[in-house]
Amino acid sequence: MTDLGIRRIEGRAITVRGNDIDTDRIIPARFLKALTFSELGEYPFYDERFDSEGREREHPFNRESARGAKILFVNANFGCGSSREHAPQCLKRWGIDAVVGISYGEIFAGNCEMIGVPAARAEAQALAKLQEAAEADASAEFCVDLERMEVRGGNLRVPIELPENRRRALLDGHWDSTGQLVANAEQVRNVYERLPYTRGYQEA
């Protein structure tokens, strides 16, 4: 069986400051018509990154150092508003593998963790230090450690929190229901063959 567990996320970080950043700001509604989530990677914070003529504005996601970053540091109530799952999907497709903030919209946090992106919480003053460190040195490397439940980077070591059921699902790999089915394809086939209402079924 393939190990789908997520224990540590390591890489550079982007800081996006501000409380109550909702899912409409994370991805504007007009991009929800994309046929697949794979198309969403260019759209995080699009209306804040570009003006009406398509010219770049100053924004953390437009900085050269943002490309390749794996961790996003945010503030309070991030991902509030509508429940659209496109918001965590566009961050993931950009390359973000973990979010660390003070608090989240609950549906947003759940949607993140269902695609293997922990939405960890940190105390406000400690979070501010992480944001400052990432802004001061765009090349700084951080580690979100789900086993030790801390973020490390430079000389910082910041405790984080996750609901234990979500943390355990990430560590054990149970967050990825599709991956679980693929990894256990033979067992799925055996059950399929045993069930009286699927035995002998043939696709048209």
- The ranges assigned to domains in the chain are 8-174
User: What does pTM read for this prediction?
Assistant: 0.84
Plot region of 173 (φ>0 → left; ψ -120 to 50 → alpha; else → beta): left
82 pLDDT band, cuts 50/70/90, is confident
Q: If you average pLDDT over residues 42-60, what whole number do you get?
A: 94
Q: In what order do the strands lie in the sheet with 119-121?
A: 13-15, 71-73, 98-101, 119-121
Q: If you average pLDDT over residues 156-178, what whole number do you get?
A: 88
Residues whose CB is less than 8 angstroms from the CB of residue 161 and which lie 6 or more positions away in sequence, other chains included: 120, 121, 122, 149
Fold designation for 8-174: Aconitase; domain 4 (3.20.19)
- Ranking 20-24, 72-76, 124-128, 175-179 by mean pLDDT, the lowest is 175-179
pLDDT at 149 over 50: yes
* Phi, psi dihedrals of residue 183, rounded to the nearest 5°: -65, -25
- Do residues 56 and 62 touch, judged by C-beta distance below 8 A? yes
Q: Report helix, strand or coil for 198.
A: coil
The amino acid occupying position 127 is L
User: How far, in Å, CA of 100 to CA of 75, rounded?
Assistant: 8
Percentage, residues of the chain above pLDDT 90: 71
User: How many residues are present in the chain?
Assistant: 204
- Do residues 120 and 161 touch, judged by C-beta distance below 8 A? yes
Q: If you average pLDDT over residues 155-178, what whole number do you get?
A: 88
- Do residues 120 and 98 touch, judged by C-beta distance below 8 A? yes
